[in-house]
Amino acid sequence: MTTTTTPSTTSAHGPLTTREPAIRIVGLRKSFAHVEAVSGIDLLIEPGETVALLGANGAGKSTTIGMLLGTITPDSGSVLVEGRPPRPAVAAGRIAAMMQDTGLMPGVSVRELVCLTASFYSDPADVDEVIGAAGLREAARRRVDRLSGGQAQRLRFALVAVANPAIMVLDEPTRAMDVQARADFWSSIRSFAATGRTVLFATHYLDEVDGNADRVVVMARGRVIVDGTPAELRSRSGVSTVCFRTNDDDDRDALARLDAVADVARIGGRVVLRTSDPDRTVRSLVASGVTWHDLEVAPPSLDDTFLELTQERS
């Protein structure tokens, strides 16, 4: 996927941004049988924001997205998309979604299916531009049932982008894509967001959050437990890592006595120290007499922070 185009910034349905919040969720609840999937969440997303929705399986992400799109009826609370209920917003083309398990019409080509989808909207994006942005130009004449898993995901993105929506919702969008395809996909999404559109995406790939999300919302057991920037999320952990190589085999006790060290591990020939104060730990390491080389200091990772936050809530 090498071609990136920027979708139109105007729409016959109205401006891309309005004075209303893009998404306003207040006191939202939904239960299935005796299980409360969403437990009274509040969420405000402003026009133009790119927001990552994180959570383990069963956290309530998919149920929340379903209520946002009007496919699931809440038990209580409210959902507004640009000041209107979800279903009218969907019908007006203001919000469109790429769901992870959406089926594709068999027996038609990629271009035929994108053209068909475009015909449902009064102000669609240019079909050929969207196909190019999705990295499907060479597969445009291929039947959709002969696409690879990654190509099928790109086609699902094209079917959303051709609607020319102000708000795009993506549920696990890069599943089945290889590393390069994922990178190219997010390049297209950043171009889409740069036009002032709003993007809400749910993902299990925490590395996709940095560089692609302005904000991270973490859910656990049907509730929002953290809402902030990726940097703010990492700061909740407060645990950095100091990594290096050493020729000393009997240094574990000395390393455990270093200042601010929480634990010591050996991973792939490297020593990994988890520390609450990496500056103190490095100064203590220098003074310890332990021989070391190839020193690296890393801030708290999103993976570690996410696991700590969700395990605490569980």
Phi-psi region of 160 (alpha: psi -120 to 50; beta: other; left: phi over 0): alpha
User: What band does 312 get if pLDDT is binned at 50, 70 and 90?
Assistant: low
* Residue 47 clears pLDDT 90, i.e. is over it: yes
* The CATH fold of domain 238-300: Alpha-Beta Plaits (3.30.70)
The tens digit of pLDDT for each residue in 9-34 reads 445 455 566 679 999 999 999 999 98
* The CATH fold of domain 23-234: Rossmann fold (3.40.50)
* Residue 307 clears pLDDT 80, i.e. is over it: no
Q: Token pair of 99, please?
A: 């769901």
DSSP string, the chain: -----PPPS--TT--SS-SS-SEEEEEEEEEETTEEEEEEEEEEE-TT-EEEEE--TTSSHHHHHHHHHTSS--SEEEEEETTB-HHHHHHTTSEEEE-TT----TTSBHHHHHHHHHTTSSSPPPHHHHHHHTT-GGGTTSBGGG--HHHHHHHHHHHHHTT--SEEEEESTTTT--HHHHHHHHHHHHHHHHTT-EEEEE-S-GGGTTTT-SEEEEEETTEEEEEE-HHHHHHTT--EEEEEE-S-SS-HHHHHTSTTEEEEEEETTEEEEEES-HHHHHHHHHHH----EEEEEEPPPHHHHHHHHHHHH-
The tens digit of pLDDT for each residue in 179-220 reads 888 888 888 888 888 889 999 999 877 888 888 999 999 999
User: What band does 6 get if pLDDT is binned at 50, 70 and 90?
Assistant: very low
> What integer pLDDT is reported at residue 249 of this predicted model?
66
Average model confidence (pLDDT) across the chain: 87
Neighbours of 227 (CB within 10 A): 16
Domains in the chain: boundaries:
23-234, 238-300
Neighbours of 95 (CB within 10 A): 26
* Residue 168 clears pLDDT 50, i.e. is over it: yes
The tens digit of pLDDT for each residue in 270-284 reads 999 989 899 999 999
What amino acid is encoded at 183 in this protein? Answer: A
Mean pLDDT across 149-154: 86
Of the candidates 302, 283, 291, 187, the one whose C-alpha atom is nearest the C-alpha of residue 239 is 302
| pLDDT above 70: percentage of residues in the chain | 91
User: What band does 250 get if pLDDT is binned at 50, 70 and 90?
Assistant: low
Instruction: Say which residue, 308 or 198, is predicted with more confidence.
Output: 198
Max mean pLDDT range (77-86, 247-256, 264-273):
77-86
> What integer pLDDT is reported at residue 314 of this predicted model?
53
* Residue 301 clears pLDDT 90, i.e. is over it: no
Mean pLDDT across 293-308: 82
> What integer pLDDT is reported at residue 15 of this predicted model?
56
User: What band does 49 get if pLDDT is binned at 50, 70 and 90?
Assistant: very high
> What integer pLDDT is reported at residue 116 of this predicted model?
96
| pLDDT above 90: percentage of residues in the chain | 54
The tens digit of pLDDT for each residue in 103-140 reads 888 899 999 999 999 999 888 999 999 999 888 999 99
> What integer pLDDT is reported at residue 28 of this predicted model?
97
> What integer pLDDT is reported at residue 102 of this predicted model?
75
* Residue 234 clears pLDDT 80, i.e. is over it: no
